Structures are given as structure tokens and as C-alpha cells.
Structure 1
């Protein structure tokens, strides 16, 4: 099919390249000229495993191109809207400026039978409003909502081989045509019997934000248990192992530590809360405010562990911060617990030197006051304290004996509970985890 993707940020660039990989003819549109030039040259503007390869193949094959000219979407039969919905300044609500602008820019180029497919995470009720706008301004076009479920670090895989597909379709006779168009786009996934949920706009909008709210709640639950464990002497990791054996609970996302971050979970639970309050159902998701609060407390706890080790004063103490991205296999520093911890320690007077396999450039732009190095051993050299805040493989596999030879003091905070406490203590380290005795 001929497809357009409006918005070539993290979601849009991956979606465009993946659709070309599946054989579709794709044009990606973005207002950022520099980003478009990078993508057109086959260069990914952010780190995502597998993206450079499918990006290069798509461009080389002629199946994929990028432009700043919206007029070039003319002739595409499906137009995916994949722009960002950041948190609105001064509010917890989602900012729909980019979504609205994308729809308005697209409308003049819509033809009879075209399908606009929203992929952005939006507050429930947005699709109904946009559908009305599309039907009024371009009567022959349709709108569907097709939420994304990408995991950073696995986004290419999640797009080409999704674990489920959700179609939010218009009511009435147009539903069949919209479904047929989306079925053609996802023919490969459907042939593999990927589960498909066909539903209405509101349900499709709620699926993504509900999933993120549930995951955030699960993470904050185990971090709340970590707070109890720290008071009682229990081990939250063993607790998670035990309750995770219950099939109704499961072990995934029960990893206590400095909490979640990124461009989705934090802003999505805040936007969900704000939208529920607008709908007069704020009490239904009031618990998400505590989920958010627990999450932020765990960042502070990691900082407090370091400060308390030095009797309340980290001034001029050299602290090696291992990790800057909000999760491994990503260079995304949006609402990153790791970067927050580094900045807090710097603000308390510590000599912070931070390292990360991919996120240094982004972190330097956000926090130029920090010292960075891409050499792990250089970060560790002469350190009075080490804190692991992003569980990259390179950090998980550090040799505690070798690291002890580099540092000034053998003191480590495991902010992700990703290290073996016994091995580090056996090598002479003072080891502190999160919710671990």
C-alpha cells in the first residue's frame, strides 16, 4: 500500500521504516528539516536497535522516503498520525497541539476513501472530535485509532511482529472499509495469527493509557514493598520472586529500584488522571497520583543512600554514576531517574562523573553542568561512591574485584538491584540495594 506517516520522531520513524520493511511504499513527513535530512540519509536520529538497518534498506529499495512537504502524502491511502503528545506546561494534561496541527495540515490532501489512522497516545474522547473534523473538512475520508505498544529497545520487533493489534473504528458502514484498509497494512502480522481487537474509538484510546497505568502501578507497588522491606529488614527481590510465581501476578515489572521514567509512563499516567478529572471521574484513578509519588520517592531514596553513607555530606565526594538513559538499550533521557539522581547529587556538591553507552550526548545537552565520559573505567577511577542507575549489560557484568582496584572507596549503591550482592561483598564492597538488607 501507499502509506504516509505524519511525525517522524521515535514512534513515527520506527513505524515508517517498519512499514517499508513489510513492503509498503511509505513517505514520512516531519516539520523538523534536520531530522528529515538525517532520516533521508539513512541515519537514525536516536538510538534504537535494528532501526538503522531497516531504515537503510527501505531507502535503498525506494520504498521509504522522508520530506517536510505535506503535499507529498497525496496518493497515500492510509495516513498514520504519529506525533508527540507531551505533558502540557503547567498542567498534567496532554498537549494535543501537535496532533491537531497534523490533522489540519493533512486535511487538504485527503481523497475519497482515505483513512487517517491515529497512533499517538491521546486522552479518551480525542478521536471522536478529530473524526468530526475530518468528516466535515474531507467528507470522503475516514478516521480510525490504532494505538501503538512499542517498548524502547524492542520497537522494531514490536512493530513488525506485534503481540496484539487494536483497531478503533468509526461506527456505521465505514467501519468495514476502515478495517479492510488496516488489515491490508498488517497482513503479515495477521497471517501469523496476531491477536486483533476491533473496537470503538474510546476503547482504543483507553487501551494504551490503561496498559501504561497498569505497568506503572505494578512497578510502584513493588517499590512500595521495597520501602516496607527497608524498614523491616526483608529482601524485596526475594519477595518479588515469591509473589511472581503466582500466575495471576507474574514476575515481570516487579523489579524494585529507582523507578520508571521515559516519555510514556510518567506523562501518560498524569494525563490519564487529568482527563479522568475532566470527565468527573477523578476518584477512579486517584491512586495513580500515589503511583507517581512512590516512583519519585525512589529516586530520592537512591540519593539519600549515598548521602547517608557519608554522614549527610557528599561535598567534593567523587561519585561515579553508571547510567543516564531511563532504561537500557535506549538513549532516551526523558524523565530519566538516572539523570535525575546524577543532577541531584551534583546539586548537593558531589563531584559527579557519569557514563552511559548511548545517552551521553542527550544528557550533556540537558545537564551541561555534569561531567561525562564514555569510558567506564575512567568514570570509576578514584570514585568515593558508585551508583548503578541504568541496568545496561556492561554495568551488570562489571567485575567487582577489578572495579575495587579503580575506586578510592569500595562503596556501591545498586539502584536497579541488578548486581549480585554476595559477589560484591565478597570482593570487599559495602553494597546497598533498594529494598534489600
Structure 2
């Protein structure tokens, strides 16, 4: 099929390349000429394992191309995916819909033949119906533009596999006053089933529903995951206070298959471009609907997450004798998770910046995130290796669980530091191994060792 992907950031670029891998002809669209030029030359402007190789393959074959022209996109595509951002508004928690609105309006104006718009961006519930009206009112006379909502469920570091082999797919269709999909919606569904034919043959579960449910799926999933993380972090405050062990507690409750072990990892909390933004946007939308009390608990989820950062800073200060002024601190990690260069709302980078603002001499290393971190906090000192970061340090903080940090040799590392104190902000190191090498080992949710 011939399709476009509007927005070539993390979501859009990955989706465009994955659709080419599935055999479709794809045109990526963006207003940023520099980004378009970079992608067209076979280079990915962010870190995502496996994506650069597929991009080069399909740029070379001609299966995927890139443009800044909506007119070209309108002539080319039978399906137009919307993958632009919905960042948190500067003056509140609600999502900024201006980029989505603009993309839908412009591709509807440019479309020269009947087409389907498939929304993938994460939007407040109620947006799709409004966007369908916007698309139809913007389309040329005689051109039918029908919208479906097709949320994405990508995990950074696993995005290619999540697109090619998703654990589920959701299609939200327009419904009439009787609560049934319209004729146009059923036709749009048939088009989308053709788009995803390979996944459907592979028995990927497909949920077909209304606009509102489809819009809620992504934010509901992220809010649940955020709640699970904050739940175990809240318990870690108790286990640490009473001398318990949060990892053993998490293992024990995670054996209950109704709960599961995933996302029960106590530490410095969650970050990134999705979870924090989505729980705040869902709270904001519920307030607009007059349902403030329904999701009030998400405010506490957010607060618990913030407290983990504050606590880690305080713990570091205590280990430096009550003052950070002039203390050298080695920070391992800047991204919000490993296998990514994304530092948006990263607890690791936020903690490092707070330590620096309180007078600490911070040296930070991240395998992929140094450049992006430096754009946000240019006054921090970024170094090229973990060894450089920890040399002369009075305290080491492991804040992003990159494998190379998990594999650090405590004996070799001890030869580089000024004092053998490590704060394991992700609970991923072996305490016995580090203490055996003479280290004072601290981790959130565990008694100091």
C-alpha cells in the first residue's frame, strides 16, 4: 500500500521504517528540513537499536522516502498516519494538541483522493471525533477522508520489534447515534486490516472499538504502569525505615500472577516522554469532564515519583557529611532508561542537575545520552566513560541501569575512587559483591550496608 507517516520523530520514523519492512511504500513527512535530510541519507537522529540498519535498507530500496511537502503526501498516500507529538502544555498539565490539529488539517487539505487518516499520537479522550469533523471540513469537494484511532504501544529500546510484532493492536472507529460503526468506518477498518495483514495472519490480537476507548487505552496503560512503579517505591520507603529488603518483597508479591513482577523495581522512579506526561494529561482531562475525584490517586503517583529524586539527593548529601559543596560525585546514567538517548523528564539527569546546583562537583557519563543531556544542562561535566566519571569520586550514583554499569567490577572501580560509597539507584547491583570489595553499599528500599 502507499502510505505516509506525518511526524518523523521517535514514533513516526520508527513506524515509517517498519511499514516499509512490511512491504508498503512509505513517505515520511515533517516540517523540519534538517531532520528530513538526515533520514533521507539513512541516518537516525536518535538512538534506537535495530532502526538504523532497517532505515538504510529501505532508503536504498526506495521503499521509504522523506519530504516536507504536504502536497506530495496528499497525492501519494492512501493511508496517512499521524505521529506528531502531544507535549504537556507549558501552562498546565493538559496535552498540547496544536501539532495534531495542524497535521490533520493540512493532510486533509492536500489529499487528492479518498483516504484514511490513522491517528497514532497520544491524545485526550474526545479528540478523535473532533478531528474527524476537522478532516471532513478541510477536505476538497468530492474527497472522502475517514479517521481511525490506532494508538501506539512502543517501548524505547524495543520500538522496531514492538511495531513489527506488537502484543496487541487497537482500532477506534467512528460510531453513529445507535452506537454502531458507520459505513465509512467499516470501510476504513478494512483498509487498516490490509495495512496490518501480516500481523493479523500472525494472530496478533486486534481490538476494534469506538474512538473514546481507543484514545484511553494508551494513557490508561501508562497510568497503570506508573502506579505500579510508584506503589513499589512507596513500599520501599517503609522497608528502608524498618530494615526490610524491597527486592525480596517485590519478588514475593510478584509471584502472584494477578500482580506480576514486571515494573516492581524500586529506585529513583520513572521518567521519559510518555509516563509523566500521560498521567498528568489524563488527570487534566478527567478534571475537564468534572471527574476530578476519579483519578485523584494519580496525583499521589506523581508525587511519590518526585519524592524519589528528592530522597536520592538527600541521601547523597548525607553521605557527603551533610554538605555537597565541593564534593565530587560520579553519576552513571542520564537517560530515563537504558538503550535510549531520551533524557526527557529523566530522574537520572534531574538528580545530577540538583546535586550540581547544591555545589557538588558532578561528573556524568551515559553511553548514549551525554549529547542530549548537555543540551538541557550544559553546565554539568560530561565525560566519555564510566571510569572517568568515578575517578576521584566520594560517592558514585548508578541512576540508569545500562548493562555496562551493572557489569562494573567493584575491585577495579575501588582503585579509582576517593571513597568507596555507591548508591544503587536502580537496585541492580549485587550488594554482597560490592561489600566484599570494601564498599559502603546503599540502595533505595534497603538498609545501608
Q: Which residue of 1 aligns with 2:132?
A: 131
Residue 265 of structure 1, aligned match among 271, 275, 289: 275
Q: What pairs up with 1:11-410 in 2 under 5 angstroms?
A: 11-73=11-73, 74-138=75-139, 140-171=144-175, 172-410=182-420
Over the aligned positions, Cα root-mean-square deviation in angstroms equals: 0.8
Distance, in Å, in 2 between the alignment partners of 1:233 and 1:375 is: 34
Contact 2:105–2:138 (8 Å) recurs in 1? no
CA distance in 2 between partners of 1:97 and 1:137 (Å): 16
CA distance in 2, matches of 1:12, 1:137: 23
The CA distance in 1 between the partners of 2:99 and 2:259, in whole Å, is 37
Q: Distance in 2 between matches of 1:352 and 1:218?
A: 31
Report the counterpart of residue 427 of structure 2 in structure 1.
417
Distance 2:316 2:90 in 1: 32
Q: What's the CA shift for 1:310? A: 2.0
CA distance in 1, matches of 2:127, 2:221: 18
- SS in structure 1 of the partner of residue 396 of structure 2: strand
Q: Distance in 1 between matches of 2:400 and 2:49?
A: 17
- Aligned equivalents of 1:250 and 1:264: distance in 2? 22
Secondary structure of 1:406's partner? coil
The whole-number CA distance in structure 2 between the counterparts of 1:382 and 1:135 is: 64
For the residue of structure 1 that corresponds to 2:281, the secondary structure is: helix
Deviation at 1:112, TM superposition (A): 4.3
Cα deviation 1:76-102 (Å, max 9, x = unaligned): 110000000000001000000100111
Moved more, 165-174 or 79-88: 165-174
Following TM superposition, by how much is the alpha carbon of 1:311 offset from its aligned partner in structure 2, in angstroms? 2.5
Q: TM-score, normalised by structure 2?
A: 0.96
SS at match of 2:76: coil
CA contact (8 A) 2:312 2:351 kept: yes
Aligned-pair distance for 1:111? 4.1
Q: Distance in 2 between matches of 1:369 and 1:49?
A: 29
Does the Cα contact within 8 Å between 2:30 and 2:36 map onto a contact in 1?
Answer: yes
User: CA–CA distance in 1 between the matches of 2:188 and 2:292?
Assistant: 33
Name which of structure 1's ranges 176-185 and 403-412 shifts more when overlaid on structure 2. 176-185
Q: What is the TM-score normalised by the length of structure 1?
A: 0.99
Does structure 1 retain, via aligned residues, the 8 Å contact 2:272–2:344?
Answer: yes
Superposed displacement of residue 132, structure 1: 1.1
Distance 1:137 1:48 in 2: 36
Distance 1:394 1:272 in 2: 36
Q: Is the 8 Å Cα contact of residues 256 and 417 (structure 1) preserved in structure 2?
A: yes
1:37 Cα offset (Å): 0.6
Mapped partners of 2:195, 2:445: distance in 1: 46
CA distance in 2, matches of 1:75, 1:141: 14
Cα distance in 2 for partners of 1:298, 1:150 equals 25
Task: Structure 2 unaligned segments of length 5 or more: list them.
Answer: 176-181
Output the CA distance in 2 between the equivalents of 1:71 and 1:124.
30
Report Cα offsets for 1:396-436 as digits up to 9, x if no partner: 01010110011110000000001011110111000000101
- Residue 135 of structure 1 deviates from its aligned partner by 2.1
Deviations 1:196-254 (A, max 9, x none): 00000000000000000000000000000011112111111110000000000000000
Quote the Cα distance in structure 1 between the aligned partners of 2:21 and 2:42: 14
3-state SS of paired residue (1:342): helix
Aligned partners of 1:387, 1:112: CA distance in 2, in Å?
57
Write the distance in 2 (CA, Å) between the matches of 1:239 and 1:111.
Answer: 59
In structure 2, what is the equivalent of residue 435 of structure 1? 445
